[in-house]
Structure 1
Amino acid sequence: MRQKEGIYMTHFYIVRHGETMFNVKGRIQGWCDSPLTKLGVSQAKELGKKLKNDSFDVCFCSTSERAMDTAQYILENRDVKIISSKQLKEQCFGDFEAEKSSNIFKDGIKYPEGYRFCGGENHSDVIERVFNALKKIASEYPNANVLVVCHGSAIKHIVNYLCPGFVNEQPTTAALVPNCSITRIDYDNSFKLIEKPRLFRGQ
């Protein structure tokens, strides 16, 4: 654990899950789920190798199978506790769940506020939910290095909150937050973006 100038600071390493069957099929995947592909498993294992020299005090992950499996592959053979949390789930897309992305977002259509109108969550809902989860983790693990495994849209929206305009840097969530990319955020009574989503070389 590390401390900065007497202030407790929690260091979050936030990972998007590996590639899934729905990612390949181009289907919207929020609260619905699909398994990791062979590539997704390989991505998670490879990331685990690249993080072998990084010390984590604990890992929190979404309760979705794709995130839980990714966490286990990253940390296999390491004595790091994995704790699941519903608060770290992906954005809920309501009636759009499992639909083809090309049908829902055809002709460049966007939903700038989110998906409450169709039974899902707005972007602000996801931001509040995930930040509350991270604050709770920070209160329980002050001054710790915490691995978090969750989802593309959830990561996209919290990064955009901390770095306005991020969502416009690339055309899709997959491009903004690739599978098994890492985002670094620190917390010491406020959140600070340390590093936007990035892939390690060789992934």
Structure 2
Amino acid sequence: MTPIKLYVVRHGKTMFNTIGRAQGWSDSPLTEAGEEGIHELGAGLKAEGVPFKMAFSSDSGRTMLTMDILLEELGLTNQIPYQRDKRIREWCFGSLDGGYDSELFVGVLPRTDIFAGRDLNQVPYPELAQGIYEVDTAGWAETWEELRGRLLDGFMSIAKSLEADGGGNALVVSHGMSIGTLVWLLDPKRPKQHIENGSVTILEFEDGQLSVVSVGDLSYREKGRAIRDAEAK
């Protein structure tokens, strides 16, 4: 069987990303710069000759637009199966979804027992999820068990789809915190790492298990930027 790899992309930079708003299940469009960054990524992936057999994104508008751009750059629009899966959505921040990051991560959460004087990078994902669940006045936020379960279920389902079809690579577009959480679930000893817009995290599936190959790789985007800059001259 052909080796199974998931090329997991964080969507392009959005309006909310740019102005510092918590963007979980709420949504905002990609900025012009955000779209350009994904065009760069697509050009870089094409230049590297990475073959993709299937495509998957969350059902958020920002991931779907990112996927549309990537498939266009790769010449794969309507050429490979593409599915949208709500299981690989971003975290839900409940009643604080759409608010400023400073309100959630600097204002509200640090005052809870969950943070206990630690900064955001020192708080493990399960405790962070519990903190968000506790401060959500609307009752929309997920428990850690719900969040963990849907992410593992969603990404394992993608890997198993490839396995059932003889292996190969999948192009997957998801979200920053969800990708970071998945990496931590697969490799808890790995330090937390910020996942940049347009970066690629590669996962491998073998013997029924997902493992982390690389995290937040920007080299494909950088290669694509050089190609597009040269073409524009």
State if a TM-score over 0.5 links the two structures.
yes
TM-score (norm 2): 0.76
C-alpha distance in 2 between matches for 1:106 and 1:27 = 12
1:36 equivalent in alignment to 2:30: yes
Counterpart CA distance in 1 for 2:215 and 2:174 is 15
Q: How much does 1:38 deviate?
A: 0.4
One-letter amino acid of the structure 2 residue matched with residue 130 of structure 1:
L
* Corresponding residue for residue 231 of structure 2: none
Q: Helix, strand or coil for the counterpart of 1:144?
A: strand
Shifted more, 157-166 versus 21-30: the winner is 157-166
* Number of residue pairs the alignment of both structures matches: 191
Mean Cα displacement is larger for which, 135-144 or 45-54?
135-144
1:193 maps to amino acid: V
Q: Which has the larger radius of gyration?
A: 2
Q: CA deviation at 1:123?
A: 4.4
Alpha-carbon spacing, 1:64–1:128, altered in 2? closer, same or farther (3 Å): same
Asked if the contact 1:91/1:153 (under 8 Å) is kept, the reply is yes
Question: 1:164 deviation in Å?
Answer: 2.2
Using the alignment, how far apart are the partners of 1:196 and 1:137 within structure 2?
A: 18
Unaligned runs of 5+ in 1: 4-9, 170-175
Matches within 5 A, 1:22-101: 22-52=16-46, 53-76=49-72, 77-78=75-76, 79-101=79-101
Cα deviation, 1:5-29, whole Å, max 9, x if unaligned, reads xxxxx21110000000000110000
**Does the CA contact (< 8 Å) of 1:127 and 1:154 recur in 2?**
no
CA-CA distance at 1:81 after TM superposition: 2.8
Matched, 1:116 2:112: no
Q: 1:146 aligns with which of 142, 152, 170?
A: 170
| Among 138, 143, 158, the residue aligned to 1:137 | 158
> Does residue 11 of the first structure (1) align with residue 11 of the second (2)?
no
Q: What is the TM-score when the length of structure 1 is the normalising length? A: 0.86
Shift of residue 127, structure 1, vs aligned partner:
2.8
Which consecutive unaligned segments of at least 5 residues does structure 2 have?
111-119, 226-233
Q: 2 CA distance for matches of 1:123 and 1:166? A: 19
Contact preservation (8 Å) 2:156, 2:210: no
Residue 6 of structure 1: aligned partner: none
Query: Deviation digits for residues 30-69 of structure 1, max 9, x if unmatched?
Result: 0000000001100111100001111000100000000000
Query: For 1:159 and 1:16, how far apart are their aligned partners in 2?
Result: 13
How far the C-alpha of 1:105 sits from its partner, in A, is 1.6
Read off the aligned partner of 2:51 and give its amino acid letter.
Answer: S
Q: Hey, what's the Cα distance between the residues in 1 that align with 2:182 and 2:145?
A: 9
In structure 2, the residue matched to 1:172 is: none
Aligned to 2:35, what secondary structure does the other structure show?
A: helix
The equivalent of 2:205 in structure 1 is 187
Q: Partners in 1 of 2:218 and 2:212 — Cα distance?
A: 16
Aligned 8 A contact 1:123 1:157 in 2: no
